[in-house]
Structure 1
């Protein structure tokens, strides 16, 4: 990666008493790209995002965001970022437009009404802008949440499992929103446990397992880690799911259904060979 990485993480460690959550994490995120941090529940994804967004302190290692050390310059880092958590943080009593205007006023920006109208249009929420957020669908609420995060035009946005609990259509709506952010030059660090989400969105994917990054690369690079299976002379490229399960292995951290699927995938591979 270039020396002008928007996010740089080097040797980050974090423990909670005897629980070692992060054991030396390293990666760079290029400006204007979508970087997916992929891992199972409990892998340390949210802990790392909390450190990068100055909500928690690392035990060791360094991290810079927008060229600023997160430990030495937390205030300046907060001005350069926005964080969208796992659950939409909208006020359901207010309308969509009122939610946006509230955040604009809290950021001491001029013309909060104009800012709200521009974001409602940008996120295809103009018609719903006058309705209370409580009436929004899951996808609309999440889009409003992301729109609120963009007030003030932060160059870097952290999305912590943004599609958790959403139905397929709502997930697609959020995916389209995230792609538009990157197209407009925003750097996006996305955490997810959904393999298809990483496949659809990310320019680069890092797999976080047991507190360390065990692989980091483009989708194409990760797929090359497994040989292509050949069935009746038709080349079958490995999926990201097969790469993930092979790298992580059967650690007992997945549920029974995940273990059964991994076992079936392994048997299918043997039969094809």
Structure 2
């Protein structure tokens, strides 16, 4: 008899009248709240105006949600949404893609740098690299609670039988809990980047932490794609997620090498 873990968790934490609190939404919000606290400490260290933090927070939320939604539509389910444009705004029904979210975040940080801080893009991107990795880890936990993005079939003793998985054929056999694999790897990335920021001079090399984020997050993503059930999209030899991850990894490696070839710079904001 095969051993596995039966996963029948509810995606809902509680319901009060018309209000339902779901694990996914709580993890998403908690990740941004913790990120806000961490980035605030970085801003204070550099003497940056706290008003900048509020703007950065709003930019990031908008960029993440809009980018992730558009990414899912364009990269994974364009055939459906091109025929049902009215469903594009139904974010509550699910459908967010991390690669699209990254594009949205990069756009948001560029706008923040261009119109608010008037400083280098890397001044802010290096600060939010670790917190964004934490947000990714928490979102994957939310995916676990939703029994979504399940893995391929597995006979490992830690495999999960996702009772609530959709479509129903995904609930017929035990599968890799790939959400946990990804979440742990993102937590590792978070801890590494945060430690490098505070315990070393890595923050003095603009782009280094940003590049490391790209290389690690999407390197892990590329590997874990081998353990995921089909997510749709345009993948053939590689999955859609892997095709989208390859340029991100290469960009990250190039950015790390470029940043270390440049002289270190102080990050402190000098008042005009």
- Normalising by the residue count of structure 2, what TM-score does the alignment of the two structures yield? 0.25
Higher percent of residues as helix: 2
Higher percent of residues as strand: 1
